[in-house]
Structure 1
Amino acid sequence: MQSQLSRDAGTSIDIRNVVKRYKGQTAVDDVTLSVEAGEFLTLLGASGSGKSTLLNIVAGFITADAGRIEVGGRDLTTVPPHRRDLGMVFQHYALFPHMTVWQNVAFPLKRRRVAKAQIASRVRQALEVVELGHLAERRPAQLSGGQQQRVALARAIVFEPQALLMDEPLGALDKRLREQLQLEIKRLHHELGTTFVFVTHDQEEALAMSDRIALLRDGRVVQIGSPQDLYDRPASRYAAEFLGESNLFTGRCDGRTFVDERSGAAFTVAAGGNGVELRNGSALVVRPEHVMLAADDAPLPADHNTLDGLIRDVTYLGSGLRVEVALPDGRHLVTRTGTRSGLRPQPGLPVVAHWHAEHAVVVADDTGAAVSATVSETASTVAA
């Protein structure tokens, strides 16, 4: 269904050298970031990374200590929130409990003194977009969490804002509802063509919904790109660890050869790695889905990197298996494989883990000690 609320391709948002400090601590550290008109951009990061602070600066609820916010080429840095023409959806929906769904959605239009006839038409259209027209006379307490969130979305889009800002809007929902609302928000974005800026700490949510992802750490953007770019070509060890599961090795690189500092094993990598300088202090990233398992006596492709090990654990995931392989030096490697692969993985089975050089990505080792490396330094030693 194509809604009458659909407009143009949205508007651009430009964040220029924005800084915000609290009691000497820097929450947003000189961030410059452009959101394209009609784009779905996600600000992704751990708690304290500055993502919600940055979004609230764009919305006007927080005043930056330095920098500039432009929307559609207009400088809004000193413009109060209610005059920025930006829709906002919070994690806690902030619906008026004494009002019906219809009244909640109509509220921003009444505040803007829109004519009654136009209010009726636009509220009806907004409720149609979120598929809640049949619940217009209910109050928030009579709705499920997912329905309340859709009311909040309808209220945010009904006045046709220049852009829609969402701060962890699905954080209070269970997994099934989160996944359902992810699809509905993507549909809403496609239908309206409005610029969306979405904040989350959930990597799967970011990968599923976004045109681009800006990954934040300690108030700075450490990488920005499409979900596939960030997943397949992380710019740093931190990005590789934060976004998806990874097998990580610390070592040094010389040309197309990476030497693991722990085991001394040499791996062939794609030429040039990820565009980083191949130098001492680099890290090697191999995603679990690119690691294959073979019996220890099976023939292997000549251009594959290999590591011997014992299967430590097998977890059934429905669509496939997650297999942990214990390495001789005490670490473990994670693979993901189909349930109908040739090898039947069982704990204690000797195997060879192998992967093609093109799936070995060299990144800058920017974290020191790994936060959550899959190739674990603390795994129990494999029995001889």
Structure 2
Amino acid sequence: MTGTVDVRGVSKVYGEAVALADVTLHVRAGEFMTLLGSSGSGKSTLLNVVAGFTEPTSGSVEVDGADITSAPPYKRDLGMVFQHYALFPHMSVFENVAFPLRRRRVRGGELSERVAAALDTVELGALRDRRPGQLSGGQQQRVALARAIVFQPRVLLMDEPLGALDKRLREQLQLEIKRLHRELGITFVFVTHDQEEALTMSDRIALLRDGRVVQIGTPADLYERPASRYVAEFLGESNLLPGDVLVRPEDVELSPPGTALPAGHEAVDGKIREVIYLGSGLRVEVELRDGTRLVARTATRLDPPPVADDPIVAHWSPRVRITIPSAHPSEQQ
């Protein structure tokens, strides 16, 4: 099973509105590629072009080297998971998962075996006779996943599949989707607006803005080596310093005035404006003398504990400074 996806020069125009502008993207066989961006960035439009639900104005889409630009969705051999599940309410879990196999004329024992295997993969074998209305949101999403993988597609497309779930369940299913990806070896193309979700789950991320891909790379590439100010600000909290320099909050250390600092550290004086307890640590906002705000994320136990209006020294090693290019280079894929 392979599953390379090549988007070549794809544009989509609605009247005067440009949804996609000459997008080129290569998805490697077996990788977890995330299309990340804010609302209106073009990420879902791009996924729908690959799926066949949206016809591009120009450009082409290939899977394993075969041009599928004009093929209808049901002939593309691609699995699809939607945000709102799109399950048939009158069908049992078994019949929902069996539906794409019946469309492909799979019958009898083979159908039963493949449905059972898919349901076992998402740990829902015991609920095969229930209907969607009898399931929780997380269980319904697992049914949608089972239905998408039961016919063994070369590529699995997912459009904000966790967007309707609460935070705890969302995080649980993130881990389950990663497990599925590892076990199945299928190429995943995943759409989200959630930066933490993208950083957690992806092999590579394509960040879109205004219908264009502004950077492609591993999570570490985008977080630690942003190609532009936009990328730096979109992914995680950023302390942007003069000279297009960025320091991430987790790299900022805080010390009381007069404390001896590590050799070579850069330091600025300020006062604490706000302290937020996060459970795993503290988010401390510092106001510098010129009015600039700087954020530090640090361990919960600080001695003495930080208090609003206390004077403080924020400092960091010069090794953690990230220089942002004045203009991002041509997208590298």
- Sort the TM-score into its range (normalised by shorter chain): over 0.9
Equivalent position to 1:198, from 190, 193, 217: 190
Contact 1:323 1:334 in 2 (8 A): yes
Matched residue, 2:239: 247
For normalisation by structure 1, the TM-score amounts to 0.84
The CA deviation string for residues 241-270 of structure 1, in whole angstroms up to 9 with x for no partner, is 111111112x44xxxxxxxxxxxxxxxxxx
Equivalent position to 2:168, from 170, 176, 181: 176
Distance, in Å, in 2 between the alignment partners of 1:301 and 1:147 is 51
Could you tell me how far 1:344 is from its partner in structure 2?
A: 2.3
Q: Do structure 1's residue 232 and structure 2's residue 193 form an aligned pair?
A: no
Contact 1:294 1:343 in 2 (8 A): no
Distance, in Å, in 2 between the alignment partners of 1:191 and 1:357 is 41
Give % identity: 66
Equivalent position to 1:340, from 295, 301, 304: 301
Q: What is the root-mean-square deviation of aligned Cα atoms in Å? A: 1.2
Secondary structure, aligned partner of 1:364? coil
Secondary structure, aligned partner of 1:27? strand
Could you tell me how far 1:342 is from its partner in structure 2?
A: 4.3
Matched residue, 1:47: 39
Secondary structure, aligned partner of 1:223? strand
Contact 1:238 1:366 in 2 (8 A): no
Matched residue, 2:84: 92
Could you tell me how far 1:348 is from its partner in structure 2?
A: 1.5
Could you tell me how far 1:366 is from its partner in structure 2?
A: 6.3
The CA deviation string for residues 54-80 of structure 1, in whole angstroms up to 9 with x for no partner, is 000000100001111110111111111
Equivalent position to 1:31, from 9, 19, 23: 23
Matched residue, 2:147: 155
Distance, in Å, in 2 between the alignment partners of 1:343 and 1:305 is 22
Could you tell me how far 1:364 is from its partner in structure 2?
A: 3.3
AA paired with 2:277?
Y
Matched residue, 2:111: 119
Distance, in Å, in 2 between the alignment partners of 1:227 and 1:122 is 35
Distance, in Å, in 2 between the alignment partners of 1:343 and 1:232 is 31
Matched residue, 1:293: 254
- Where does structure 2 lack aligned partners over 5 or more consecutive residues? 329-333
AA paired with 1:344?
P
Q: Do structure 1's residue 188 and structure 2's residue 180 form an aligned pair?
A: yes
The CA deviation string for residues 127-160 of structure 1, in whole angstroms up to 9 with x for no partner, is 0000000000000000000000000000000001
Instruction: Give the total of aligned pairs.
Output: 328
Secondary structure, aligned partner of 2:190? strand
Q: Do structure 1's residue 331 and structure 2's residue 292 form an aligned pair?
A: yes
Distance, in Å, in 2 between the alignment partners of 1:61 and 1:312 is 50
Q: Do structure 1's residue 302 and structure 2's residue 242 form an aligned pair?
A: no
Matched residue, 2:274: 313
Contact 1:308 1:353 in 2 (8 A): yes
AA paired with 1:208?
T
Q: Do structure 1's residue 352 and structure 2's residue 313 form an aligned pair?
A: yes
Runs of 4+ more than 6 Å apart: none
- Where does structure 1 lack aligned partners over 5 or more consecutive residues? 1-7, 253-282, 368-384
Secondary structure, aligned partner of 2:21? strand
Could you tell me how far 1:347 is from its partner in structure 2?
A: 1.2
AA paired with 1:194?
I
Contact 1:163 1:196 in 2 (8 A): yes
Matched residue, 2:74: 82
